[in-house]
């Protein structure tokens, strides 16, 4: 599995636009990309304009498909307007676990 960690610093005046766009992006990724296994959007508890994404993809093929989708193109358009700084870190998952319930 491939995990992507993304840190985004958002322009304060465009925070709500960003939230709308990233929420739609996450939902579409999970609904329309069978290889997208997880898409979490988190806000830094010490900075309301810094967001962290945690995305998990089944494999390299699913990860490669993600940026070719129409919903990703819509997201990039919004990000170009809203995001001041973006840092991506691509990793390989070596151990994963979730608690149910």
81 sits in which H/E element: helix 70-82
Number of structural domains the chain divides into: 1
* pLDDT grade for 51, boundaries at 50, 70 and 90: very high
For the entire predicted model, the pTM comes to 0.91
Residues with Cβ within 8 Å of 29's Cβ and at least 6 positions away in sequence, in order, are 36, 39, 55, 66, 69, 71, 72
Q: For a pLDDT cut of 70, what percent of the chain falls above it? A: 97
Q: What is the tens place of the pLDDT at every residue in 24-44?
A: 999 999 999 999 999 999 999
Sheet (strand 83-92) strand order: 36-44, 47-57, 2-10, 83-92
Provide the residue range defining the domain that includes 84. 2-92
- Tally of CA atoms within 13 A in the half-sphere of 4 that contains its CB: 24
Does residue 100 fall inside a structural domain?
Answer: no
Does residue 45 fall inside a structural domain?
Answer: yes
Does residue 40 fall inside a structural domain?
Answer: yes
β-strand partners of 33: none
Does residue 98 fall inside a structural domain?
Answer: no
15 sits in which H/E element: helix 15-32
pLDDT at 95 (0 to 100): 85
Does residue 44 fall inside a structural domain?
Answer: yes
Does residue 78 fall inside a structural domain?
Answer: yes
């Amino acid at each position: 599995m491939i995990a992507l960690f993304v840190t985004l610093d958002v322009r304060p005046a465009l925070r709500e636009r960003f939230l709308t766009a990233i929420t739609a992006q996450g939902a579409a990724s999970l609904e329309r990309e069978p290889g997208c296994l997880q898409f979490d959007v988190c806000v830094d508890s010490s900075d309301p304009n810094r967001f962290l994404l945690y995305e998990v993809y089944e494999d390299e093929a699913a990860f490669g498909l993600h940026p070719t989708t129409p919903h990703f193109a819509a997201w990039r358009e919004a990000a170009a307007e809203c995001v001041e700084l973006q840092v991506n870190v691509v990793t390989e998952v070596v151990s994963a676990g979730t608690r149910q319930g």
